[in-house]
A and B are shown apart, each in its own frame.
Chain A
């Protein structure tokens, strides 16, 4: 079974440009998460989808970030316009809803975003 995939693996853009990151979760996983790691710092939660609905977007840094999950399958995270401080590694994770308190999150390899 394929794991969580993310595209692109690397993106280098200039300040002010737009970038769209994509995440394909494991098939059948209703929960999808986005996290971000700025260099040298901790991995921080951005938001959580349950199917196509945003369950928790408390970690989104500002309104330059827009996440979507149309149809409850893959998700995109758009940054517009990008700023220097948006550079980092963006991770996506997915989990199944097992009806229990704990559902293991499976992570993708991340997208390394560099804003120049």
Chain B
């Protein structure tokens, strides 16, 4: 079984400060890992993904995440927060071991609400 733990349901940073959102996973197979963002009244949008290539993954809007197998972590970072980054962020792991017909259901963490203050 797979699981994801996101530490901190709410994170607040100042504009221009470093953003660090934590994600730890548990998986019985080499994982595929994802970060999604949800802005108010919108669907989830893929920020970035790790699918067993480079361990440092760059995504949209200046975000990046590093896969650390020894720590079972996939933390999301951004060097300088912008007001537009305020949203809810979800870490997810894919059950691609059960791949069939191209499907790969996602197991999500509980989400982290990011607040950016002036």
Residues on A close to B: CB < 8 A? Answer: 3-4, 30-31, 33, 35, 40-45, 48, 50, 55-56, 59, 91, 93, 95-110
Given that A102-B94, A105-B106 are known contacts, is A97 also in contact with B101, CB under 8 Å in the complex? yes
Are A107 and B103 in contact, with the CB atoms below 8 A?
Answer: no
Partner of A41, one of B96, B102, B110: B110
The interface centre, meaning the residue of B32, B96, B105 with most chain A CB atoms within 10 A of its CB, is B105
Are A95 and B43 in contact, with the CB atoms below 8 A?
Answer: no
A33 to B103, CA, bound (A): 9
Given that A4-B43, A104-B46 are known contacts, is A31 also in contact with B96, CB under 8 Å in the complex? no
- Residues from chain B with a CB closer than 8 A to the CB of A50 are 100-103
A55 to B4, CA, bound (A): 23
Are A31 and B103 in contact, with the CB atoms below 8 A?
Answer: yes
Are B104 and A42 in contact, with the CB atoms below 8 A?
Answer: no
Are B103 and A101 in contact, with the CB atoms below 8 A?
Answer: no
- Residues from chain A with a CB closer than 8 A to the CB of B102 are 30-31, 50, 95-100, 103
Are A43 and B90 in contact, with the CB atoms below 8 A?
Answer: yes
- Residues from chain B with a CB closer than 8 A to the CB of A45 are 105-107
Q: Does B42 contact A (CB under 8 A)?
A: yes
A101 to B42, CA, bound (A): 27
Are B111 and A42 in contact, with the CB atoms below 8 A?
Answer: yes
The interface centre, meaning the residue of A4, A93, A98, A101 with most chain B CB atoms within 10 A of its CB, is A101
- Residues from chain A with a CB closer than 8 A to the CB of B12 are none
Partner of A56, one of B51, B90, B98, B108: B98
Are B99 and A101 in contact, with the CB atoms below 8 A?
Answer: yes
A109 to B36, CA, bound (A): 13
- Residues from chain B with a CB closer than 8 A to the CB of A107 are 36, 43-45
Q: Does B49 contact A (CB under 8 A)?
A: yes
Q: Does B41 contact A (CB under 8 A)?
A: yes
Which single residue of chain B is at the shortest CB-CB distance from A49? B103
Nearest CB in chain A: distance from B59 CB, A? 12
